[in-house]
A and B are shown apart, each in its own frame.
Chain A
Amino acid sequence: MTTSSELNMPEIAMAEKEAGKWGMVIDQDICTGCQACVAACAMENNIAFVGEEDSGYGRAMHWIRIERFWEGEYPEVKMTNQQPMMCQQCGSAPCEPVCPAFATVHSMAESLNLQVYNRCVGTRYCANNCPYQVRAFNWRDYKRPEPLPNQLNPDVTVRRVGVMEKCTFCIQRIFKAQDQAKAEGREVMDGEFTTACAQACPASAIVFGRVDDPQSLVSQLKERSGGKTHLKELGTLPNVTYFNGG
């Protein structure tokens, strides 16, 4: 298959070259599907507690989910590897151009897809156009049962009803580390911080870091053979690389 840069499409080639400051590598072979990343993400990012009923109706609000699949027909069913799925922080994101209010914008400095909560009017076009279906909408103003309000993260906005949200690669942690490094007059070091999901993963199946630094752990892991990005054929240039069955 020819890649987009071989096809000589300047915009995509440029995006491909520039894509990725922060990236993630997920090793599905060692993921146990324990959902620790899901819980950690919810705690870190003040994700609303949706409750049983709405959750059962497909409104579970998580920025990361563990997808389970199986192969074969019952009773010869074989579980496949678990597949953690979150915002792929696309270099050429389908969610971005469709928002009429500029609430989904691209951060040129961090190469991330941003969601501007207070600009969102709730057309939900971005979620519709996301091929990974990783955006979560605030269908209601969900109440946080006690004592959950006491553990809200002060670094993260609490979203209200009618607003779209999604994984940010824990941008508050990125900024905190960058501020710290700047105060000390140095660059952010690899492994100095990580996202909540990567931190919580007991198997270290999730590794986060700078993909534009060839020395970083995430870059080295990414360079191994067998890594793939999801729905590559759509040209979204995702920044999350998966290893499965290798």
Chain B
Amino acid sequence: MANAKQKAEAHHDHHGHGEEHFRQKHLMLDPLPRGRMNEMVMESMLEKPTWKFWVVAGFLSFIVVYFLFYKWGVLIANGQGEAGVMRPDYWGIFLVNTVFWIGISHAGTFISAILRVFRAEFRRPFTRAAELMTTFGLVQAGFSIFMHLGRVWLAYWLMPYPNQRMLWPNLHSPLTWDLLAITTYLLSSTMYLFLPLIPDMAMARDRSTGWRKTFYKTLALGFRGTEGEWAHLRNAMNIFAFAIIPVMFSVHTIVSWDFAAAMRPGWHSTIFGPYFIVGALHSGMGAAVLVLAVIRGTMKHMDYFIRAEHFDAIGKLMLIISMAWAYFFFNDYMVQWYGGDMWTKIMLHYHEYGPLNWMWFGMLFCNVVLPWAILWNPKWRSTPWLVGFVGIAINIGMWFERYIIVPISVTINRMPFTWRQYEPGIEVPMGIGTVALFILLYMIASKLIPLIPVWEVQEGQMAHELKKFGRETVVSVSELE
């Protein structure tokens, strides 16, 4: 009986596409009046925080103050000896976290720039949420890399600033390229976050009072929504969307060169550039879907904007990226193993049979097995909590991957006398501190800026139309530009 009902439903899915069905499923086909939508976004932002919000925010603030800032003070006062780094593991979890956070930051640009350039319509409601991840993720990456420095108070020496002794940074060093690339990425992604925010700021300015009014007025830069202003904004965003894609690719390639350009077994791999980019997208998409699931679950009206179709679409992307990651991992592993270099062989052996081999298998399980097992099914990948769970798993797996590349791989070098296992110290609480700061920044942002780019959703809804051809309802999208 139940079977027959299911069959009937499936039949309905294939043929009798009613208008109602489309509207329920797709945000773009379910338009609301402009005023109502603006109101909903304002309400979701201005909603009085519940006691739960304050408890979580208070807890996170405590972690940030104690684990991030206080512990950092301890680290600066006592030196890197507080961390677990030693010979031969001169690089530890701080570097793992740097790569991890830069990876997270890649999803924002990927979602909003690449999907914008390719006009993937499902991106519209969550471009901002993703772009915020980019900026906040880069903040954590910056913190992590500065924690790593032995003398962080001299970090400005890495910048090319004019000085009387004519001392400049060394442009041969991958770390210098890294610094330049990450700075470029931070600046351009912040601008890219800000540009589409201007119309929403203007919208919020017109609907608020008090200090908020001043805040939005300042950030809206006097935007009134004239034809000329929109034209300028569209131009600027178009330029940025195209220009930021090579920046995004270069950033993680250069991060990978920190390792690939070094002279170590296991690091000296020519495929590290694309491998790292795909890895970054893998963890970034996982984090993006997690953020979306949380926003949808906790904020008012978000179930209107973020729907099952979005999880379905991101789920598909995650599946493809997971496959691409598996391909690059296999390629990297295969060629290194086949090369037959003694040290590389010992290192690969250490990955699989060493004391931390559970991490190696955990990485493969979280990055490949779990996403493939869950995301192939349209029903499962349309379930927010399940996709969010896969997102967490992927992030754990990708963190493992970076941990394997940094402290586990550097344990094995060409001087067997120095081999030694790394035991993390103060890095762990400080790493947790960066996670807390990321979530805290997100929570603050959710109360200060509209997380949904209302105008982009409206624009999309205006372009989409349902047309009837005989008994069949058909979706038509008009050209916007």
Query: Is B one of A's binding partners?
Result: yes
**A residues at B contact (CB < 8 Å):** 54, 57-59, 65, 67-69, 83, 85, 94, 97-102, 119-125, 127-129, 131-133, 135-141, 161-164, 231, 234
Question: B264 interface residue, CB < 8 Å from A?
Answer: yes
Given A67-B417, A128-B410, also A133-B172 (CB < 8 A): no
Which interface residue of B80, B87, B91, B174 has the most chain A CB atoms within 10 A? B87
Those of B258-307 within 8 Å (CB) of chain A = 258, 261-264
Question: B85 interface residue, CB < 8 Å from A?
Answer: yes
Q: Give 9 A-B pairs besides A121-B152, A141-B78, A162-B79 with Cβ atoms closer than 8 angstroms.
A: A100-B170, A100-B176, A101-B158, A102-B168, A121-B155, A133-B88, A133-B415, A137-B150, A138-B150
Given A122-B151, A127-B87, also A234-B157 (CB < 8 A): no
Given A136-B87, A140-B81, A234-B263, also A163-B150 (CB < 8 A): yes
Question: B179 interface residue, CB < 8 Å from A?
Answer: yes
8 A-B pairs with least C-beta separation: A122-B150, A162-B150, A139-B81, A162-B151, A140-B81, A161-B79, A58-B86, A124-B90
Question: B449 interface residue, CB < 8 Å from A?
Answer: no
Closest beta carbon of chain B to A3's beta carbon, Å: 19
Q: Kindly identify which residue among B79, B157, B258 contacts A139, using a CB–CB cutoff of 8 Å.
A: B79
Q: Kindly identify which residue among A125, A161, A163, A231 contacts B173, using a CB–CB cutoff of 8 Å.
A: A125
Q: Complex formed: what's the CA distance from A137 to B259 in Å?
A: 20
Q: Enumerate chain B residues within 8 angstroms of A54, measured Cβ to Cβ.
A: 81
Q: Enumerate chain B residues within 8 angstroms of A98, measured Cβ to Cβ.
A: 172-175, 261-262
Those of B46-84 within 8 Å (CB) of chain A = 78-81
Q: Complex formed: what's the CA distance from A69 to B419 in Å?
A: 13
Closest beta carbon of chain B to A76's beta carbon, Å: 20
**B residues at A contact (CB < 8 Å):** 78-81, 85-88, 90-91, 148-152, 154-155, 157-158, 167-170, 172-176, 179, 258, 261-264, 410, 413-418, 420, 423
Q: Kindly identify which residue among B90, B151, B176, B413 contacts A163, using a CB–CB cutoff of 8 Å.
A: B151
Q: Are A102 and B155 in contact (CB under 8 A)?
A: no
User: Which chain B residue has the least Cβ–Cβ distance from A83?
Assistant: B417
Given A119-B157, A129-B262, also A59-B87 (CB < 8 A): yes
Q: Enumerate chain B residues within 8 angstroms of A102, measured Cβ to Cβ.
A: 167-170
Q: Enumerate chain A residues within 8 angstroms of B418, measured Cβ to Cβ.
A: 58, 133
Closest beta carbon of chain B to A164's beta carbon, Å: 8
Q: Complex formed: what's the CA distance from A133 to B179 in Å?
A: 25
Q: Kindly identify which residue among B157, B170, B264 contacts A129, using a CB–CB cutoff of 8 Å.
A: B264
Closest beta carbon of chain B to A115's beta carbon, Å: 13
Q: Are A131 and B263 in contact (CB under 8 A)?
A: yes
Q: Enumerate chain A residues within 8 angstroms of B80, measured Cβ to Cβ.
A: 122, 137, 139-140, 161-162
Given A136-B87, A140-B78, also A120-B150 (CB < 8 A): yes
Q: Enumerate chain A residues within 8 angstroms of B170, measured Cβ to Cβ.
A: 97, 99-102
Q: Complex formed: what's the CA distance from A120 to B151 in Å?
A: 8
Q: Complex formed: what's the CA distance from A101 to B150 in Å?
A: 13
Q: Complex formed: what's the CA distance from A227 to B258 in Å?
A: 34
Q: Complex formed: what's the CA distance from A83 to B175 in Å?
A: 33
Q: Complex formed: what's the CA distance from A69 to B418 in Å?
A: 11
Q: Complex formed: what's the CA distance from A143 to B159 in Å?
A: 32
Q: Are B169 and A133 in contact (CB under 8 A)?
A: no
Q: Complex formed: what's the CA distance from A84 to B167 in Å?
A: 36
Q: Are A139 and B86 in contact (CB under 8 A)?
A: yes
Given A119-B157, A138-B79, A163-B151, also A133-B87 (CB < 8 A): yes
Q: Enumerate chain A residues within 8 angstroms of B414, measured Cβ to Cβ.
A: 131-133, 231
Closest beta carbon of chain A to B175's beta carbon, Å: 4
Q: List 29 A-B contacts (CB under 8 A).
A: A58-B87, A58-B420, A59-B86, A67-B415, A69-B416, A69-B417, A98-B261, A100-B170, A101-B157, A102-B169, A121-B149, A122-B80, A122-B151, A125-B174, A127-B90, A128-B262, A129-B262, A131-B413, A131-B414, A133-B415, A137-B80, A138-B79, A139-B86, A141-B78, A161-B80, A161-B151, A162-B149, A163-B151, A231-B414
Q: Enumerate chain A residues within 8 angstroms of B81, measured Cβ to Cβ.
A: 54, 59, 139-140
Q: Are B148 and A123 in contact (CB under 8 A)?
A: yes
Q: Enumerate chain A residues within 8 angstroms of B417, measured Cβ to Cβ.
A: 65, 67-69, 83, 85
Closest beta carbon of chain A to B171's beta carbon, Å: 9
Q: Enumerate chain B residues within 8 angstroms of A164, measured Cβ to Cβ.
A: 150
Closest beta carbon of chain A to B348's beta carbon, Å: 18
Q: Enumerate chain B residues within 8 angstroms of A135, measured Cβ to Cβ.
A: 87
Q: Complex formed: what's the CA distance from A58 to B172 in Å?
A: 30
Q: Are B173 and A94 in contact (CB under 8 A)?
A: no
Q: Complex formed: what's the CA distance from A148 to B229 in Å?
A: 73
Q: Complex formed: what's the CA distance from A65 to B420 in Å?
A: 16
Q: Kindly identify which residue among B152, B173, B263, B420 contacts A100, using a CB–CB cutoff of 8 Å.
A: B173
Q: Enumerate chain B residues within 8 angstroms of A99, measured Cβ to Cβ.
A: 170, 173, 175
Q: Complex formed: what's the CA distance from A124 to B263 in Å?
A: 14
User: Which chain B residue has the least Cβ–Cβ distance from A125?
Assistant: B175
